[in-house]
Amino acid sequence: MTFESLGLSAPILKAVSEKGYTSPSPIQEKAIPVVLDRQDVLASAQTGTGKTAGFTLPILELLSRTKPQAKRAIRALILTPTRELAAQIQENVKEYSTYLDIRSTVIFGGVNQNPQVRTLRQGVDILIATPGRLLDLQAQGHVNLNKVEVLVLDEADRMLDMGFLRDIQKVIKVLPGYRQNLLFSATFSKEIKELAGGILKDPVAVEATPENTTVEVIQQRVILVDQQDKTKLITQLIADGNWRQVLIFTRTKHRANRLSEKLEKSGITSAAIHGNKSQGARTNALKGFKDGKIRVLVATDIAARGLDIPLLPHVVNFELPNIPEDYVHRIGRTGRAGASGEALSLVDIDEYEFLDGIQFLINESLPSEKIEGFEPNNRPGDNPPPTGGGGRKPRGGGGRPKAQGGKEDRRHSKPKRSGGGGPSNRNKSGGRPGGNSGGNKSGASSGGQRKKTSGKRW
């Protein structure tokens, strides 16, 4: 399969070629023809699969077929949950539309609105936005959405997790009733299906990878260690391994700040990125990380999606997320575009319940180990961590809590300890399920081999 065979015009193909891409990824192969056919799409796409191009390329193609009017109107609206993801999509749209007469811009909160308003007044064809800033500017009369032809909800599950459901509903009320709708989500919860049912009209289901599976090229490891020893251990691992680019996830903003400060004191350049940081500080931290000036970026789950960091070799879960799906999104920052990567989780005994929920979700038992000098001091009555991947229902840590008003750091109760044996060696139970086309979703434990595609891709 080539990009030429997908029905894209010469100017778009030229821009894609200049980016160095030679063959489309599976999500692009399946989504682009359907979008060009102006059908609604319900897509399950794991982070790092190239889904952004899966909807931006065909939207550019559709809009370019009509000559823009003298006064441009917003014809495509792309909603995203975070500022970083919005900025990334805008960057991709600009690159792909280099040889087209298409204008685009991005708006999000946390920065002065005046430059965004000035750009909107000049007229744009494509608007990428976070829901809050969009509604704010729309209420002020700076945004007119009555000409929108295509609506995209990207990372829809994340938007619901962050409490954006009501904002999404408000946006939809001011859009034209006749439009094309594209919904992309890494997971399909009950809430996502209800949202899709109220927006999409006879959608075509598109799936690139099984829901909640982890990329095959990511090497996943678990190190059992006491919470109070984690900082010293990760500092030693980074120094001894000479790791040059490491993304570390914590569960709270306070922990992210403290860990970053301690790494700096140990001589390892580091920066923290989370919701309390200004947009300027977040942008500078991310740029320094990409440029190699900062070795370690410590982030909360706000950075789990939307960070476009090519060839990121190491992702570390300093603390496991209490929502299992967030584990998939976190480690999806590495192993992108077919490159290999390592996902390391530092697990304290009080996180065994979360580990069990994660293993159940991904249907895989993660290999665990202990590092000499950092062996955990199990308390009397403590049990070894449970194994996952056996098809049984997770206890405690396996559910998705209701959204809590968009709060970044979701609080949780201390998990109960559970029994079971220690994690066994990695044991995948089937790879990608068969019949992975159209919308036939099967469990992650089904048989079938992962398809390999040639050429460079997203």
Q: What are the distances in angstroms from CA 180 to CA 60, 121, 129, 164, 188?
A: 14, 25, 17, 21, 20
Counting the structural domains of the chain, the total is: 2
**How high is the pLDDT of residue 385?**
62
Residues 203 and 224 both lie in one domain: no
Residues 185 and 257 both lie in one domain: no
Last residue of a domain, one of 329, 348, 369: 369
Residues 157 and 270 both lie in one domain: no
**How high is the pLDDT of residue 34?**
95
Last residue of a domain, one of 353, 369, 385: 369
Q: Is 133 left (phi over 0), alpha (psi -120 to 50) or beta?
A: alpha
Count how many residues are written for the chain.
458
- Mean pLDDT per 10-residue section of the chain, whose length is 458 residues: 90 92 88 95 79 94 88 95 89 95 94 95 96 95 96 89 89 94 85 88 81 63 94 95 92 92 95 82 84 91 64 89 84 63 91 92 88 82 54 39 39 39 39 34 36 35
Q: What are the distances in angstroms from CA 289 to CA 286, 298, 411?
A: 5, 10, 28
Residues 149 and 228 both lie in one domain: no
Q: For residue 345, what is the domain's CATH number?
A: 3.40.50.300
Residues 197 and 287 both lie in one domain: no
Question: Considering the entire predicted model, what is its pTM?
Answer: 0.62
**How high is the pLDDT of residue 218?**
78
Token pair, residue 104, equals 């685009």
Which residue type sits at 346? L
Residues 191 and 286 both lie in one domain: no
E-strand stretches of 146-217: 150-153, 180-185, 204-207
**How high is the pLDDT of residue 347?**
95
Between the CA atoms of 223, 224, 227 and 230, what dihedral angle is there, to the nearest 10 degrees?
A: -30
**How high is the pLDDT of residue 22?**
83
Instruction: Please check whether residue 104 lies inside any domain of the structure.
Output: yes
Residue 34 CA to residue 58 CA, distance in Å, equals 9
Helices 114-122, 131-139: inter-axial angle, 10-degree rounding = 70
For 86, list phi and psi in degrees, rounded to 5. Answer: -60, -45
Token pair, residue 217, equals 């090229």
Which residues are 299's β-sheet partners? 249, 273
- Which domain does 293 fall in, by range? 218-369
